[in-house]
Structure 1
Amino acid sequence: MSNSQISSTRQRIINAAIELFAAQGVTETTTKAVAKSAKVNEVTLFRHFGNKHGLLLAIISESPVFQELSEYLKNQATESKSVRQALKNYCEDRLQALERSPNLVRSVVGEAGNYPLENRQALGRSLKEANHYVAEFLAIVMEREQLQAHLAPQKLASLLNIMLLGYAVMEFTSEFHELWHDKDDFLEDLVSLFLMGATNSKSLVTSELVHVEKVVDLPANTVQLILQRAKKSGLRDYALIYILFGTGLSTAEITNLERNHQICDTNQHLLQIVKGEFRQVPINQWIMGKRYGSYTNNPLTRYLKIRKDKHSALLLNNDAMPISVTEIQEYWQKIVEGLSTPEGQQPAIEQAQHTWCVEMLMKGISLENMSLITGWDLQELEPYEHRAKEKLALEQAIKLDKN
């Protein structure tokens, strides 16, 4: 038998075992049933794995939760723009790996007490190896960002993986816990809590845009075109894009907004950010030189007026459920499809925040007041201040040329 045939037979047995373990549990599954499902003799199974627990050992060791983790994290450490985004990408990827086999996770965790010592040790080794890779990853990104941690990277990695596994187990074993709107909501809370506890860094927690080296705001005609497209797409999309350009809020902050988080009258329209440090943000009725209604009659108020549901969330998705970060990004991509920035790139959703911040500074708001509204520190705002001064200098030069 060739090596490829041996590999194929082995994988067929593993796949059959995963399916049966997930369907009826490890304890209730016999090697005879696995062999029958894999279309091999039971002797063949024993030759490859020794016994049922040897088969489980292979499944744990080769789980997609752990496979190629080292290479994946190396890429994350070098490609991600910030420690926050790197952490979120890792957490999201690990949860997706667990979600591919929810029944198997339930079975493996729920019946772990019945396993022989070698199986429990294998599970422990796999987790330890994952913690090692994550610790190396954290050490690299935290050194790059010059962050001071209260705990060693190994302990931080262990805590992070335990919280991810705990969330997955809770999701797979309970219904309607209603602790988070969705996975994105959990991930935002997890990363924020982790960064706050690990580094005591407020700036990392309050903003998705950390350590911005270059501010790339959008020109007025592009912003107006995006808003026009959003208006044609529907009131929800129009309200979403209006919030992005009118408040400078991040996608995560938008998902946490509820209807009662707004203050609206003829003199003002504010949104209250209640996660993290409490603050209020005005919704600008003037965006890049064009007015989009009034404080009481604008894309957001019109969207809320037509809603007949009882959801507390400020924005809902296409299924009338609270909108997620991923869905916001998907709606943005659909609206800006085919558009191009002066740099020749498709507009990125982060550029809405850049554009708002630069515009506010150009209008004359002080850095101190901007810091209060955004929750960012003064150092974070420096690139935006520099870009605002650049644009003001250009405007002045153009005016001088006309005289």
Structure 2
Amino acid sequence: MPPLPTTLPDWLALLESRHAETHIDMGLDRVRAVKERLRLAFECPVIMVAGTNGKGSTCAMLESVLLQSGYRVGLYIKPHFLDFNERARINGEMASDEALVGAFNDVEAAREGTDLTYFEFTTLAIAHLISKSGVDVAILEVGLGGRLDAVNVIDADVSIVTSIDIDHTSYLGDTREKIGFEKAGIFRPGKPAICSDPVPPQSLIDHAEQIGADLWLLGRDFNYQGDQQQWSYGGRSQRRNSLAYPALRGANQLLNASAALAALEVLRMQLPCGAQETRAGLAMVELPGRFQVLPGRPTQVLDVAHNPHASATLAQNLGNMGFHRFTYAVFGIMEDKDIDAVIAPMAGVIDHWCVTRLDSPRSAEPEALADKLRELRPAGAKDDDFSVNNFASPAEAYANALSRAGENDRIVVFGSFYTVAGVMAARKSSLH
């Protein structure tokens, strides 16, 4: 056997090389076997969060409120933008390379030759790391779907499903009913199961009832109301009034915040959170790449919107921002997405498109994207008012948008985590 890597970059390279061919391998038997050999178990409450959109925001709000309340919090969130360490947070800080290498070594020893994908291996390692870090609560974000996601080998005390929309159809099915069933796979008999989708698929409700989960539905078991200044949450036995709007911007964030507060209501005996700590946690939450507005001018917005539901929300949020002379888009997307439906809500918002290839074999070709976008050109539009240009990387597309945008204009980076990550990396390198 060759010696094991001793650094995090070498470990990640090894995991990527092991699974160059198979990216996703459905089924949990292998992961469960390694989990048992690893003796992976949590001695604290576990909150699991699945959904098409809003998972990361909900996790970030939970983490922020619980940290403000004085608890030690473990968070597994993905994907990462610049550093793999972003996926594992202990008490609000990214895990160190050394801690992750130690966890990888433990999983490798427990693997005993069992084949694990990159995602399965790293999920087990980060869960193991969190379980050994003396946290008061663990928050685990599900990757793809729910029922067959590697995170689902862990039993949650509270499960949350945020929104349910069409995405990853080759794995999860092509209807909200099929996808809702996959998401509901994280629910557990006798345990609270929270759904913040305003119109949950019947398949999710039926599954919760069949297994005897304690289903909390938005509008029935918990709800929210808001005006211009503040908002309030009402649950089964707890009200929270005069709440600050979450620091995460966008119209859908009260859905995510309500789900987070419902989970905290469920856990109020084990993890009580005071009114002031809850307000502060929501007011101070941070999450990169979710309608993230950068300081300065021109206005710049980073948003990982990569499916129709997220794109429609992004268009709505942009519409609420006030006047900008021109809007430039830095846009790259994976070819397996519903590209036409992602572009449609944004077509009326964007004047100038800077289309980019992404650093992934699944990237859509910029030339094909550009052809689609040129068909959307308004009749009679001059070149000053509408343009489409292709670029080899998000950094080049972003540099072009930045060189052309005036201080009363706006740049929107969207379409994929890879698009936003590429621009974040370019901004970081320009600062050094």
Under a length normalisation based on structure 2, what TM-score does the superposition of the two structures give?
0.25
Under a length normalisation based on structure 1, what TM-score does the superposition of the two structures give?
0.26
Instruction: Give the helix-richer structure, 1 or 2.
Output: 1
